Amino acid sequence: MPKSASYQDFLIKSIQKSQDAAAYIEAILEEKDPEPELLRNALRNMVEAKAKINHLSPTLKQQHEQLDKMLTESGGAEIYTFVEFLDSLGFQVGIVPKEK
């Protein structure tokens, strides 16, 4: 089901701040039994948010294209398996904005 334009606009605006973007991707990584497209869509949304505030470098765009290709093939299985493995070891993944 496609997202409504107003929801998509709200989402993109809400993840333009680094703290909110970090919480968004962290929540995606914590999903139990995620749909294969979930991580790809989240990363696409994050790239769109960066583009809206003019922080989309050519390197970031190229990295996103490479990662998107890998996630298309695997559905993010490796990433989610890694997160589950860490959970079994008693750890959790935390996403925090980089200090400038």
pLDDT value of residue 2: 60
What helix, strand, coil percent values describe the chain, rounded to 5?
65, 0, 35
Arithmetic mean of pLDDT, 47-72? 91
Closest listed residue to residue 91, CA positions, set 34, 30, 42: 30
Exposure on the CB side of residue 88, measured as CA atoms within 13 A: 6
Q: Say which DSSP state 32 is in.
A: S
**Residues 1-50: pLDDT tens digits?**
566 668 999 999 999 999 999 999 999 999 988 887 899 999 999 999 98
Supply the pTM of this predicted model: 0.82
Q: How far apart (Å, rounded) are the C-alpha atoms in residues 51 and 85?
A: 33
Domain boundaries of the chain, sorted by first residue: 5-88
One-letter amino acid at 7 equals Y
